Amino acid sequence: MADYKGILICGELANGKLASITTELLGCGRKLADDLKEDLLCLLTGEGIGEAAKEAVAYGADKVYVAEHASLKEYEADSYMQVADRLVKEVSPRAILMGQTFMGRDFGPRLAFRLQTSLATDCLDLSIDPQTRTLVQTRPVYGSNAQAVFTGEAMPQIATVRSKAMSPLERDDSRKGEIISYKVDVDVSKVRIKTLETIKEEAVGMKLEDAPVIVCGGRGLGGPDPFQTTLKELADLLNGAVGASRPPADNGWVSEALHIGLTGKIVAPDLYFAIAVSGASQHTAGCSSSKHIIAINKDPEANIFREAEFGVVGKYEEVVPALTKKLKELLAA
């Protein structure tokens, strides 16, 4: 049996730099590796990675494997598998961590089944059991109504980690680490999925994940218009962004990019207004880390009032314009 050692992070880049999820994974992985007194390894794939590899060291990696290849520019499962599968077999990590991102969701399960091991997705907490030296994985289940703690004996153990669940270390450019150029020959004939076209919707205004204030509307708004008027006015006044629960996105009232929750974006603004949102656990999974939640709903029994710090029972058509008007006065004073 192979000797499994170290923690391997499958990192991701955003505009040539480490994606924030990767710095979070390195922060978490560093702690696990220290507990084990083993190395923290990081795989970066793509093109022109130089700077990001140094960043990975500065954020905690002991060894960074840089796999550069034209076919790895954008994540694609069959190319990525060729690199990851080989590296994992060569370095035999004890655990592999990735983000609960598009890539992690798509790749984590494939790798786990390829390696005949187990995977816990969307983890909120990870630790090392001192006795068995294996990973203890905590993840939400039942639409985030409960949390489950998993362990496993099959090696390596794999986990995908929710964004913002872990904290990165302070960047420290004096940290020492090894950057290894990992030569790969991706056999493109093994790529079974052909990309025909990629369409990116340009974000209008502030990115939801970065907004300090989010005004989120739900199915109770009844259609697209209130998002453009009532909600937008409040958001603009507070320099915030408009978001939505899943039904408005599914119904095409708003762009899919505004969908917040377990299967949408995870956000943690200072202020989160939930307007005509019932507060299903799958929705609050995406906003419960907000500093202050304010709920406006006509149903006094709505679950969102269990999550909120301040609440108003009433029809949004009456409550929200009055709220916006008064806030405008107060902010001008």
Partner 1 sequence: MPVNMIVCCKQVPDPEAPPAVFKVVDNRMTWPAEVKPVIGQYEEFALEAALRIKDAVGGKVTALSLGNKFVRDVIKKSLAVGGDELILLEDDAFEDGDSWSTANALAAAIKKIGAYDIIFCGRQSSDWDAGQTGLGIAELLGIPAVTLARKVEVADGKAKIEQVIPDGYRSVEVALPAVVTVTSELGALRYAALKGIMAAAKKQPVIWKPADIELEPSQVGSAGRRSQLEKLFQPVKEAKCEMIEGETPAEAGANLATRLREAKLL
Ligand X SMILES: Cc1cc2nc3c(=O)[nH]c(=O)nc-3n(C[C@H](O)[C@H](O)[C@H](O)COP(=O)(O)OP(=O)(O)OC[C@H]3O[C@@H](n4cnc5c(N)ncnc54)[C@H](O)[C@@H]3O)c2cc1C
Binding partner selected for residue 190 from partner 1, ligand X, none, CB under the kind-specific 5 to 8 Å limit? none
**Contact status, residue 245 vs residue 261, Cβ threshold 8 Å:** yes
Nearer to partner 1, 49 or 296 (CB): 296
315 contributes a contact to ligand X by CB under 6 A: yes
Query: Which residue from 104, 218, 240, 311 is in contact with ligand X, where contact means CB under 6 A?
Result: 218
Query: Which residue from 280, 287, 312, 323 is in contact with ligand X, where contact means CB under 6 A?
Result: 280
Q: What angle do CA 36, 39, 45 make, to 5 degrees?
A: 135
Nearer to ligand X, 127 or 281 (CB): 281
Binding partner selected for residue 286 from ligand X, partner 1, none, CB under the kind-specific 5 to 8 Å limit? ligand X
141 contributes a contact to partner 1 by CB under 8 A: yes
What is the total count of residues that contact ligand X (CB under 6 A)?
25
Would you call 180 exposed, middle or buried from its count of C-beta atoms within 10 A (0-12, 13-18, 19+)? middle
Distance in angstroms (rounded) separating the CA atoms of residues 189 and 32: 38
Q: Which stretch binds ligand X (CB under 6 A): 1-9, 105-113, 114-122, 291-299?
A: 291-299
Q: How far is the CB of 248 from ligand X (least distance, A)?
A: 7
Sheet holding 63-68, edge to edge: 119-123, 157-161, 95-99, 7-10, 40-46, 63-68, 178-181
Strand partners, 295: 274, 311
Would you call 173 exposed, middle or buried from its count of C-beta atoms within 10 A (0-12, 13-18, 19+)? exposed
Distance in angstroms (rounded) separating the CA atoms of residues 8 and 111: 13
What is the total count of residues that contact partner 1 (CB under 8 A)?
87
Distance in angstroms (rounded) separating the CA atoms of residues 246 and 179: 42
Query: Which residue from 152, 156, 286, 311 is in contact with ligand X, where contact means CB under 6 A?
Result: 286
Query: Which residue from 43, 121, 171, 215 is in contact with partner 1, where contact means CB under 8 A?
Result: 121
Binding site for ligand X (CB under 6 A): 143, 218-220, 245-247, 261-264, 276-278, 280, 282-283, 286, 297-299, 302, 315-317
